[in-house]
Amino acid sequence: MAGPMRPQIVLFGSSIIQMSFDNGGWGAILANLYTRKADIVLRGYSGWNSRRALEVLDEVFPKDAYVQPSLVIIYFGGNDSIHPHPSGLGPHVPIEEYKENMRKIANYLKSLSDHIRLIFLTSPPISEVQIKKKLSATQTGRTNEHCGIYARALLELCDEMNLKVVNLWSAIQEREDWLDVSFTDGVHLSAERSKVVLKEILRSLEKQIGSQVCIGCHYQLNMQKIHHITLQVQMEPPL
């Protein structure tokens, strides 16, 4: 017997989402945490910005789908924040358009069901030095300052719309040595800092639905797993 239908958690965004299932990634840990409790659906698209996401939103999340997500975790902004290329090409999206795109994404997702929950992730910081060493010249238009500007824009929007948001730009930089331990290539997060993403997501969920941190589940989550993961994060060297 398969048992009752599981709630669906969708991770939707660009490469920070796509690569969240790499070894030690926060998406993989989340899937392990929700084993037999919820289906984690990965909808990660490297290189995408909020403009591209908006264009295909109804294809990724059709309104007539038999099962609608119980939770969607959304990340766009890092590619939007890349400085515009002189040719006019590239992923840059002006900040006001970015905010409007994210507003439309939020409104569309909220319309899917009365019970859907949303958590937005801001742009994390980046290491400009590491980018120059490891990534192509097309990535040099990224700056940590600009990531912060787009992160603050999303925070403002979520505050205005009363949406849950995780401030990755600040959370990742809390450690004094964040530049040394946070990235695989200057942009994408290391396994070590993926734990921070997970911790902040679980913290947001706990505020929304209580200590069991379970979206519409017929069972309780394995709280031992949660405490183990949280303990790992808390055991990081002090600032």
Q: Which of 81, 123, 127, 188 is catalytic?
A: 188
CA distances from 210 to 47, 72, 123 (A): 35, 18, 26
Active site residue 188: yes
What is the torsional sign of CA 175, 229, 221, 223? negative
Question: What is the token pair recorded at 110?
Answer: 């909220």
Active site residue 185: yes
Active site residue 80: no
Q: Which of 14, 50, 123, 127 is catalytic?
A: 14
CA distances from 134 to 25, 139, 144 (A): 20, 10, 16
Q: Which of 39, 113, 170, 185 is catalytic?
A: 185
Interacting residues of 145 by C-beta distance below 8 A, sequence separation 6+ = none
Q: What is the rounded distance in angstroms from the CA atom of residue 81 to the CA atom of residue 52?
A: 14
Q: Say if CB 91 and CB 47 are below 8 A apart.
A: yes
Give catalytic residues, as residue numbers.
Answer: 14, 185, 188
